[in-house]
Amino acid sequence: MKAPIGPAPCKICGVETGQRLAWQQHTGFPPHALPQFFEVGVCDDCVSLRPDESGVAVRAALRVLGRSEDRWDAAAPFFNDALGEALSKVLYASQNLADPQAKAWAHVDRGLRRDLRRAYAGVLKARAFEVRRPVLPEAATFRPPVGYRGCGFCGVGESRDWHGPSWTKTLTQGPDLREYVVCDDCVKALQAIGAVGTRAVARAYMTAQGLAYDEEDPPLGLRAWLDTGLPPSAEPWAHAQVHFKERPPNLADALARVAALEAALRGQS
């Protein structure tokens, strides 16, 4: 049985909604055998809190504090951990009151507001430690830090990232220490070898050419860009002029040459 008895309060903030409140009594029982239930509505302001979706108490708490509800899902763990079930008290429906209140959120007492502020302090602390990097195109590249012209290994003038600076004598022919940075590709070779030097430069070059690095057959004549004095380049290793030592013929090479010769002879006949 339902009977309209008066204006309905907003179940979120508690103000009058303009709807009519209705008592609901279970039939077949004496009038006071079971508690009475009343239906409440939602005011126009609280509709945007999406009262029928999960997280409404968190969104309501943020509104009580005058904070944006856009990132409520990130704030939810902090409110839930700090208040637990007490968080539901921010909703007027938790008071089980039939009469609307004159001021929105008047039911949220000073103690509860203090707890909400403490919970939100955790949200702010977490946001302060967030690392926000600009959203960049996947292939975005940058010039090296001020004071450097290019990668000390390959000479490229732009890279996705730069590493260093470091000092070395091993990349140049002179006796002096030289300062350098390396690009995002060449640093992988440096990390794989574990030390700056000709082996790291050779590995970086071979990798850039799509070749496997072989310590027994390194590229000959290869110099680090740092040793050239040339301007940086748009493409890596533009300065490189290398060759490889001739391998002595082996059985596989000989058989391949014989097969090629036989095929040529068959083509002539």
Domain ranges (residues) in the chain: 2-128, 136-264
Q: Beta strands of 113-185 (E only): which ranges?
A: 162-168, 178-183
pLDDT tens-digit map of 99-153:
889 999 999 999 999 999 988 888 887 776 554 545 556 567 788 888 888 999 9
Highest mean pLDDT among 48-62, 138-152, 175-189: 48-62
pLDDT beyond 70 at 23: no
pLDDT for res 114: 92
What value does the mean pLDDT of the chain take? Answer: 81
pLDDT beyond 90 at 56: yes
The 3 state secondary structure assigned to 8-24 is EEECCCCCEEEEEEEEE
Q: How far apart (Å, rounded) are the C-alpha atoms in residues 36 and 196?
A: 81
Using a 10 angstrom Cβ sphere, with 0-12 exposed, 13-18 middle and 19 or more buried, the burial of residue 203 is buried
Bridge partner residues of 22 (DSSP): 4, 39
76: phi then psi, degrees, rounded to nearest 5: -55, -45
pLDDT for res 248: 63
pLDDT beyond 80 at 2: no
Q: Nearest CA to 86 among 54, 53, 109?
A: 109
Percent of the chain with pLDDT over 70: 81
pLDDT for res 30: 45
pLDDT for res 38: 57
Q: Nearest CA to 224 among 252, 186, 195?
A: 186
pLDDT for res 112: 93
